Amino acid sequence: LEYRKVTRVPRTPDFLLGVINLRGHVVPVIDLRKQFNMNQSEITVNTCIVIVDVMLDGEKIPLGLLADAVKEVIELPTKQLSPPPRIGTRIDTRYIRGIGKDHDDFIIILDLPQVIGQESLQDVYQAVSSKETQSTDEDE
């Protein structure tokens, strides 16, 4: 999804950039760089928002992830994923759901609920729900 203006939601975690309207739905957008304490991304013409579905309380919910760029989108069947390798004690693999392979390239699949934290994810959606309710109230 081409980058678009993100509306900030007050009193939310730092990694939550805000929300966007996607086909009439309020979708939270997070910056994984902030979650991993990396330098903040500079918004460029290549910046985009990747929409993924995450499970929250047994329901699939859309979530936007800020991306520096997207070269291509591929589908990897679950059966093509290998568990994260044990690389010793210096690298924390709890954030990695699995490793996939596309031709000669390895693709790291993140475990988003683990990266963000289930409780933080619930906080994000609770904040978004209240934002959605406020928007609906303001529209009437």
Q: Which residue has the tokens 């997207």?
A: 70
The pLDDT, as a whole number, for residue 127 is: 72
Contact present, 15 and 137 (Cβ < 8 Å): no
The CA distance from 132 to 140, in Å, is 13
Its pTM stands at: 0.76
Structure tokens at 8: 């900030």
User: Above 50 in pLDDT, residue 137?
Assistant: no
Q: What is the pLDDT of residues 26-77, one digit of tens each?
A: 899 999 888 888 888 788 999 999 999 888 788 888 999 999 999 888 888 8
User: Above 50 in pLDDT, residue 136?
Assistant: no
> Could you state, in order of their start, the residue ranges of all structural domains in the chain?
16-139
The pLDDT, as a whole number, for residue 131 is: 58
User: Above 90 in pLDDT, residue 110?
Assistant: no
Residue 10 banded pLDDT, cuts 50, 70, 90 = confident
Angle at the Cα of 134 (from 129 to 136), degrees rounded to 5?
A: 95
Higher pLDDT, 99 or 123: 99
The pLDDT, as a whole number, for residue 91 is: 65
